[in-house]
A and B are shown apart, each in its own frame.
Chain A
């Protein structure tokens, strides 16, 4: 398994500003993902964070709005840019260790945009 931490755990931000969320894993992992979960909804994949190269974004998500970095095998950041109230959501970091298909999730970052 993998232990995943996220910072911040929650934040309240004003529209038009940006927030960077950090994800730290206690071991090297092959794959890191960023998900969004709106209240009462399922998990929507934003992008796969690739180490040393640009992230792979899902349909409906673009790099200018959600820039992602992954400088090494244990750390990634997601930035939510030029925020609007519609960006209010829980953002989850997830990893696969590469030893199996198992996928693990961090505790999430609860973002409220006013």
Chain B
């Protein structure tokens, strides 16, 4: 089955700096790559996703890049703010399979 590795497990940055979280996966059939943000006491929230036919996608301060050949994808957050502090999960999915496989999560702390 699919194996998703996420790094780093914790990340601390100063407000205004950039943060990068990386994930690698094993199943070449995966074609959908979402990122979730989970704040304390809440369920995961989908923040951005990318499909296998696209190399990069941006939405304001967040962006995701995908390298299908190398089987890795990354989340980039620029101009970080304290409210970006949360646990971030990457995931992989296959449109036909229906279910997703999640990484272990990255705890991001943005220091004011």
Residues of A within 8 A of B (CB): 4, 31, 33, 41-43, 45, 48, 92, 96, 101-108
Number of interface residues of B (CB under 8 A): 21
A selection of 22 A-B contacts at a CB cut-off of 8 Å is A31-B98, A42-B89, A42-B103, A42-B104, A42-B105, A43-B44, A43-B89, A43-B102, A45-B99, A101-B34, A101-B49, A101-B51, A101-B95, A102-B34, A102-B46, A102-B49, A103-B34, A103-B93, A105-B45, A107-B43, A108-B42, A108-B43
Q: Please give the distance in Å from B75's CB to the nearest CB on chain A.
A: 16
Bound CA–CA A57/B46 (angstroms): 24
Interface of B is mostly: strand
Binding site for A on B (CB under 8 A): 32, 34, 36, 42-46, 49, 51, 89, 91, 93, 95, 98-100, 102-105
In the complex, what residues of B have CB within 8 A of residue A105's CB? 36, 43-45
